[in-house]
Amino acid sequence: MDTPPSHTLGPAAADIRSVGLFEDRYGVGAHARLVALLQQPCVTFAEIADRYGVTRECVRQWHQRLLPGAPTGHERQRLCRQYHRKRALMKDQLFGGFYRRFRTQVPTRRLGLIPARDGFRRRAVRLDRHVVALRRARAIGAPDAAASYRLVNGVANADFVYYELNGTDYLFVPRLILPEGSATFVDAPGSTLHPFKNTFGALWHWPGA
C-alpha cells in the first residue's frame, strides 16, 4: 500500500547506447535514478529538473519517452494525493493494526479501500466481495477475573467485524452471529466467540464467505 504506482518502460529505456550517453553526461547510475524519480507521482518535474540541471520541458520529454502512456499532469497529481491519503490511513492505529495482521496471515486475499470524501474510510474495508467493519473492543470486569470485552455491533452493512481487543489480540467475527446492540466476550476457551480469536478463518469456514 505504501508504494506509488510504477509503469512499464518503453523501448527507449532498453537502448544501451542511449543509457551510456545519458550517464556520460549526468553520471553513473543517473539513468536508473531518473526512471525511479519519474515513477513517483509525488516527485514533480520541477524537482527532477533541478536535480539534473535541465528545464521542466526536458523532463516532460524524458517522461514521455521513457514511460509512454504513464499518467501526466492532473492525473499524476491525483495519484500523489491518493498516495498520501493511503500513507495517512496506515498511520491510523486501528486500521494499521488490522492491515498488518491481515497481510501477514492472509497475503493472497484482495484488500480494497473504500473511498470517502476526504480520502478513504478508516473503519471499513473490502475483502474480495465482503465488507469488514473495524472496531475497538472495550475491556470490562475486575482485574483478577478472566479478560472480558464489550463488543458493539451496530454495523448492519458489514459482513464481518474485526475487533481489536488489545495490542496483541483480536476477533474476526461474522456479523450475523453477533446480537444487535452489543455483546460481551469472555476471553476463555469455552466462550462462544473464542474460535474467532486471532484468526481470519471465518473467511473460509463461514457459510457464504
Cell of 27: 553520471
In angstroms, the CA 66 to CA 50 distance is 19
Instruction: Find out whether 200 and 102 touch, Cβ atoms under 8 Å.
Output: yes
Question: Are 97 and 200 in the same domain?
Answer: yes
In angstroms, the CA 119 to CA 110 distance is 19
| CA 192-197-203 angle, 5° bins | 95
Q: What is the pLDDT of residue 180?
A: 86
Q: In which domain, by residue range, is 101 found?
A: 92-205
Q: In this structure, is residue 182 part of a structural domain?
A: yes
Q: In this structure, is residue 135 part of a structural domain?
A: yes
Question: Are 18 and 105 in the same domain?
Answer: no
Query: Parallel, antiparallel, or unpaired for β 130-136 and 160-164?
Result: parallel
Q: In this structure, is residue 82 part of a structural domain?
A: no
In angstroms, the CA 170 to CA 161 distance is 10
Domain total of the chain:
2
Q: In this structure, is residue 106 part of a structural domain?
A: yes
Cell of 79: 495519484
Q: What is the pLDDT of residue 160?
A: 96
CA distances from 31 to 75, 108, 164, 186 (A): 24, 34, 46, 59
Q: What is the pLDDT of residue 69?
A: 86
Tens of each residue's pLDDT in the chain, 209 residues: 545 554 444 444 446 678 888 999 999 999 999 999 999 999 999 999 999 999 999 999 999 999 988 888 889 998 898 888 888 888 999 999 999 999 999 998 889 999 988 789 999 999 988 999 999 999 997 665 568 999 998 777 899 999 999 989 999 999 999 988 899 999 998 899 999 999 999 998 876 55
Q: What is the pLDDT of residue 143?
A: 60
Q: In this structure, is residue 153 part of a structural domain?
A: yes
Q: What is the pLDDT of residue 11?
A: 45
Q: What is the pLDDT of residue 144?
A: 57
Q: What is the pLDDT of residue 73?
A: 86
Neighbours of 91 (CB within 10 A): 8
| pLDDT averaged over every residue in the chain | 87
Here the CATH number for the domain that contains residue 115 is 3.40.1350.10
Q: What is the pLDDT of residue 157?
A: 87
In angstroms, the CA 28 to CA 193 distance is 60
Instruction: Find out whether 101 and 111 touch, Cβ atoms under 8 Å.
Output: no
Question: Are 60 and 115 in the same domain?
Answer: no
Q: Which of 76, 108, 127 is the last residue of a domain?
A: 76
Q: What is the pLDDT of residue 109?
A: 85
